[in-house]
């Protein structure tokens, strides 16, 4: 049996074990084996970057689920962004990766609703309280009971919080238009904004709490979707886009 086959079998077994531990709430054990599975997968990816290991393809998603279950919000956000970038890089040719990319997007959407609102006067005291309860893991139904609100009221306020966060994030009409037309993900649109400011990967990584590798993957996917060869050409491409429109 080849070393690649052995690694694939081992990573798959560790992923399965990690999910068993997760299902029984043995979160520390789950994290240990899932991180080991991810380390093996990274070594396999270095040897064969064009073909992902399908036997352990669920491992990145399992790690996201683990950190969410453990209420490790920053770790969960980072894991989800890395998983999404990984799955999206193969989604066009591998249906399983496309499926996991969509599942990961749902995890990210739920995570976004649980993040604390910025300490800004734009948010009401009630919206801040709801956001903090979401961060602590309360469901919208539990929040409604705790704050003596209807479920509809809580849902409406959560929607308002999300809308305000989008506004505060600096989203602009031009990038939003490009993102919609070229089907960019939220992170790819973020990369476009940073590249237009000539920001380096280190700045992007630090401000978005992403690893360097995740930033590189998002930028590579962005350039591919816009048919741009080099990141230095992004500004000229956007100017050309404006003139065309």
Task: Taking the CA atoms of 95, 101, 105 and 106 in sequence, report the sign of the dihedral they define.
Answer: positive
Span 146-192, pLDDT tens digits: 898 888 888 788 777 665 554 444 446 688 889 889 988 878 888 99
In terms of average pLDDT, the best of 45-59, 87-101, 112-126, 195-209 is 87-101
CB-side neighbour CA atoms (13 Å) of 193: 21
Whether 167 contacts 118, CB under 8 Å: no
Reported confidence tier of residue 1, pLDDT bands at 50, 70, 90: low
Reported confidence tier of residue 121, pLDDT bands at 50, 70, 90: very low
What value, to the nearest 5°, has the Cα angle with vertex 53 and ends 49 and 57?
A: 120
Span 218-243, pLDDT tens digits: 899 899 999 999 999 998 999 898 88
Determine the pLDDT at residue 207: 67
Instruction: Count the Cβ atoms, other than its own, within 10 Å of residue 159.
Output: 11
Nearest to 68 by CA among 114, 7, 33: 114
Chain mean pLDDT for the chain? 81
Q: Any residues with CB less than 8 A from the CB of 232 and at least 6 apart, and which?
A: none
More confident call, 67 vs 133: 67
Q: Any residues with CB less than 8 A from the CB of 82 and at least 6 apart, and which?
A: 60, 210, 211, 213, 214
Is the pLDDT score of 57 beyond 50? yes
Determine the pLDDT at residue 126: 84
Is the pLDDT score of 217 beyond 70? yes
Is the pLDDT score of 29 beyond 80? yes
Nearest to 108 by CA among 70, 81, 87: 81
Whether 17 contacts 36, CB under 8 Å: no
- pTM recorded for the entire structure: 0.49
Nearest to 61 by CA among 99, 100, 12: 100
Reported confidence tier of residue 120, pLDDT bands at 50, 70, 90: very low
């Amino acid at each position: 049996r080849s070393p690649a086959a052995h690694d694939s079998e081992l990573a798959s077994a560790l992923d399965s074990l990690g999910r068993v531990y997760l299902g029984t709430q043995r979160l520390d054990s789950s994290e240990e084996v899932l991180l080991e599975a991810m380390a093996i997968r990274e070594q396999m990816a270095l040897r064969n970057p064009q073909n992902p290991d399908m036997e352990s393809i669920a491992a990145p998603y399992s790690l996201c689920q683990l950190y969410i279950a453990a209420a490790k919000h920053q770790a969960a956000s980072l894991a989800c962004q890395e998983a999404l970038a990984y799955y999206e890089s193969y989604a066009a040719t591998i249906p399983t990766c496309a499926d996991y990319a969509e599942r990961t997007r749902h995890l990210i959407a739920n995570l976004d609703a649980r993040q604390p609102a910025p300490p800004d006067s734009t948010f009401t005291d009630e919206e801040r309280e709801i956001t903090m309860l979401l961060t602590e893991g309360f469901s919208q139904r539990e929040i409604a009971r705790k704050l003596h609100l209807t479920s509809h009221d809580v849902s409406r306020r959560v929607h308002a919080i999300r809308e305000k966060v989008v506004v505060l994030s600096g989203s602009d009409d031009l990038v939003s238009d490009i993102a919609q037309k070229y089907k960019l993900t939220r992170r790819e649109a973020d990369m476009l904004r940073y590249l237009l400011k000539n920001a380096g990967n280190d700045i992007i990584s630090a401000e978005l709490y992403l690893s360097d590798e995740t930033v590189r993957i998002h930028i590579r996917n962005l350039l591919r979707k816009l048919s741009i060869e080099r990141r230095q050409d992004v500004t000229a491409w956007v100017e050309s886009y404006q003139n065309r429109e």
